[in-house]
Amino acid sequence: MKYLTYEINSEMSYGVLVDENNILPLKPIIQEFGLNNAPDLLSFIRQYNIQTVNDILEALPRYAEQMIPLNSVKLLSPIPYPRRNIFCVGKNYAEHAAEIANIGASNSSIPKEPIYFSKVADPAIGDGSLISIRSEFASLLDYEAELVIVIGKDGKDIAEEEADNYIFGYAIGNDISARDIQNKKLQWFKGKSLDNAAVIGPWIVSKDEFTLPLELNISSKVNGEIRQQSNTKNLIFNIAHIISDLSQGLTLRAGDLIMTGTPAGVGIAMDPLGVLKSGDVVECKIAGIGTLINEVKFI
Ligand code: MG
pLDDT in tens, the chain (299 residues): 999 999 999 999 999 999 999 999 998 888 888 787 889 999 999 988 777 778 888 888 889 899 999 999 999 999 999 999 999 999 999 999 999 888 877 666 789 999 999 999 999 999 999 999 999 999 999 999 999 999 999 999 999 999 999 999 999 999 999 999 998 988 899 999 999 999 999 999 999 999 999 999 999 999 999 999 999 999 999 999 999 999 999 999 999 999 999 999 999 999 999 999 999 999 999 999 999 999 999 99
Cα(105) to centroid(ligand 1), Å? 14
Cα(262) to centroid(ligand 1), Å? 5
Q: Give the side-chain half-sphere CA count within 13 A for 67.
A: 18
Q: Are strands 217-222 and 177-178 parallel, antiparallel or unpaired?
A: unpaired
Q: Nearest-CA neighbor of 238 among 133, 288, 163, 140? A: 163
pLDDT of amino acid 56:
81
Q: Which long-range contacts (CB under 8 A, 24 or more apart) does 98-104 make?
A: 98/264, 99/264, 99/265, 99/266, 99/269, 100/266, 100/268, 100/269, 102/269, 103/268, 103/269
pLDDT of amino acid 29:
84
How far is residue 153's CA from residue 48's CA, in Å, rounded to a whole number?
Answer: 9
Q: Is the peptide bond before 263 cis (omega within 30 degrees of 0)?
A: no
Cα(146) to centroid(ligand 1), Å? 7
Cα(259) to centroid(ligand 1), Å? 7
Contact 292, 283 (CB under 8 A): yes
pLDDT of amino acid 49:
77
Chain mean position to CA 49: 21
Cα(176) to centroid(ligand 1), Å? 8
pLDDT of amino acid 104:
79
How far is residue 26's CA from residue 28's CA, in Å, rounded to a whole number?
Answer: 6
Cα(101) to centroid(ligand 1), Å? 15
pLDDT of amino acid 107:
64
How far is residue 63's CA from residue 122's CA, in Å, rounded to a whole number?
Answer: 33
Residues near 38 by Cβ (< 8 Å), separated by ≥ 6?
26, 27, 30, 44, 47
Paired residues of 17 in beta bridges: 2, 23
**What pTM, to 2 d.p., does this model score?**
0.97
Cα(58) to centroid(ligand 1), Å? 38
Cα(175) to centroid(ligand 1), Å? 5
How far is residue 237's CA from residue 234's CA, in Å, rounded to a whole number?
Answer: 9
